[in-house]
Amino acid sequence: MKEFSRCMLCAIPGKQLYEGLIDRLLGVPGTFNLKRCQSCGLLWLDPMPIAPDILKYYEGNYVSCGDKTVSEGASKRRLFAGLRDFVRALIIYGYYGYQHLAKRKVYVIMGRVLGLWPFLRSRAIYGLGELLPFYQDNPQALIVDVGCGRGDYLKLMRDLGWKVLGIELNPVVANITRNKGIPVFQGTLNDAKLTEGSADFVTLSHVIEHLPEPLMVIDEVFRILKNCGKLVIHTPNAQSLCHQVFRKNSYHLDPPRHLFIFSPKSIKLLFERSKFKKFTIKTLTRAARTSFDNSVVIAREGKSYIGGIKPQKGRFIFALRESMLCHLGKPRGEEIELVAQKF
């Protein structure tokens, strides 16, 4: 552990926000402190773990609480399951341009119309948002998923016709992905030494908060992207409604694995220091119910569970409140979504 008293972005001393936090998920021994920058709102661990210690905070088949998991389709026993899956397929064919998968041209036309409704579109792509790219008519177009977890996302992208590559530090999880036929580099993105300009699309979904040097990784993403290539980041929001309500019991704090938790302002400052010149930032509400459920359990029991928990009373009202705040322009969504493009 090393002292990390100043904000890495503003270089001003941080204010102690929480002291004596414990690992609520894997039970890593010790206590941990979070500081907050009074200027940009960045949260960080102080003292900060050194690299050899960080690896000890992950065990077995641990995957980030925000891992991209994609349903293989609704259960056949659920009412209208087949119809829902059919509508999802239509929207992917027509709106997102994967026409080569459609058996009939009329399906493409129907999908274009159905995709005009944001609610249907979000359900069709399992809430992936910008993580689902539009079709590229290039069989060599490459998606690189940094922190690929168990590979569900890359499997979906491969099935849609993309060439895919996972980057995963955890050897157990990397093997799970390989067993799905997904190529994986076990290690960090910088260690992979991919060819400059080789990737069309790069994702870091709930990864950047785990990185001791996030700017270095962002600049490496810029290097491997082709011109007009895109980077999509999802990461917990330090200004989320869940954090405002549950404070130290907020699910997405996840000490000691989350080294940094960004606010919209702080991640903007980070990217202004990067080589990317064009990017957009917004907050997402898709994780509101899950964040609420886990935070309630943490507040009550002092821990969370990897296998998931039962829905908690009040989750619908909480999610509705968060959605309304975001519609009013308040950055209270549980996740930050940043989309950057290389030019």
Residues 6+ apart with CB under 8 A from 148: 154, 166, 167, 168, 174, 177, 182, 184
User: Per the structure block, which two tokens stand in for 331?
Assistant: 């950055």
Kindly state whether residue 269 falls inside one of the protein's structural domains.
yes
Kindly state whether residue 215 falls inside one of the protein's structural domains.
yes
Q: Is 48 helix (H, G, I), strand (E, B) or coil?
A: strand
Mean pLDDT of 308-331: 96
Half-sphere exposure of 181 (CA within 13 A, CB side): 6
The reply to whether 258 and 174 lie within a common domain is: yes
In the listed set 84, 108, 125, which residue is the last one of a domain according to the structure? 125
The reply to whether 146 and 203 lie within a common domain is: yes
Strands of the 278-284 sheet, one edge to the other? 184-186, 163-168, 142-146, 199-205, 225-236, 335-341, 278-284
Give CA separation, 257 vs 140, 165, 261, in Å.
Answer: 35, 24, 11
Kindly state whether residue 21 falls inside one of the protein's structural domains.
yes
Percent of the chain with pLDDT over 70: 94
The reply to whether 195 and 84 lie within a common domain is: no
**Residue 220 scores a pLDDT above 90:** yes
Give CA separation, 229 vs 38, 139, 215, in Å.
Answer: 34, 16, 18
Give CA separation, 32 vs 42, 44, 163, 339, in Å.
Answer: 16, 10, 41, 31
* Direct distance between the N- and C-terminal alpha carbons of the chain, in angstroms, rounded to an integer: 39
Between helices 315-327 and 288-301, what is the axis angle to 10°?
Answer: 130
**Residue 52: its pLDDT value, please?**
79
List residues bridging with 236 in a β-sheet.
Answer: 335
Ordered DSSP codes for 154-186: HHHHHHTT-EEEEEES-HHHHHHHHTTT--EEE
The reply to whether 103 and 219 lie within a common domain is: no
**Residue 116: its pLDDT value, please?**
93
Mean pLDDT of 117-142: 90
> What is the domain-level CATH number for residue 219?
3.40.50.150
Mean pLDDT of 73-86: 65
Residues 6+ apart with CB under 8 A from 233: 203, 204, 205, 207, 208, 267, 336, 337, 338, 339, 340
The reply to whether 177 and 280 lie within a common domain is: yes
Kindly state whether residue 295 falls inside one of the protein's structural domains.
yes
**Residue 72 scores a pLDDT above 70:** no
Kindly state whether residue 114 falls inside one of the protein's structural domains.
yes
**Predicted confidence band of residue 76 (pLDDT cuts 50, 70, 90):** very low
In the listed set 125, 153, 188, which residue is the last one of a domain according to the structure? 125
The reply to whether 195 and 262 lie within a common domain is: yes
**Residue 70 scores a pLDDT above 70:** no
**Residue 161 scores a pLDDT above 90:** yes
The reply to whether 182 and 211 lie within a common domain is: yes
The reply to whether 207 and 244 lie within a common domain is: yes
**Residue 75: its pLDDT value, please?**
43
The reply to whether 165 and 290 lie within a common domain is: yes
Kindly state whether residue 4 falls inside one of the protein's structural domains.
no
Tally of domains within the chain? 2
User: Per the structure block, which two tokens stand in for 69?
Assistant: 């998991």
User: Per the structure block, which two tokens stand in for 42?
Assistant: 């960045």
Kindly state whether residue 9 falls inside one of the protein's structural domains.
no
**Mean pLDDT, the chain, whole residue set:** 92
Mean pLDDT of 161-173: 95
Kindly state whether residue 1 falls inside one of the protein's structural domains.
no
Q: State the residue range of the domain holding 109.
A: 71-125
The reply to whether 101 and 156 lie within a common domain is: no
Residues 6+ apart with CB under 8 A from 70: 126, 128, 152, 153, 155, 156
**Predicted confidence band of residue 122 (pLDDT cuts 50, 70, 90):** confident
The reply to whether 132 and 115 lie within a common domain is: no
Mean pLDDT of 328-338: 97
Mean pLDDT of 223-227: 98
User: Per the structure block, which two tokens stand in for 143?
Assistant: 């998606």
Give CA separation, 60 vs 32, 56, 68, in Å.
Answer: 22, 11, 18
Helix (H) or strand (E) holding 16: strand 15-21
Lowest-confidence range among 4-13, 96-105, 118-127, 281-290? 118-127
In the listed set 79, 105, 125, which residue is the last one of a domain according to the structure? 125
**Residue 71: its pLDDT value, please?**
47
Count of beta carbons in the 10 Å neighbourhood of residue 16: 12
The reply to whether 156 and 276 lie within a common domain is: yes
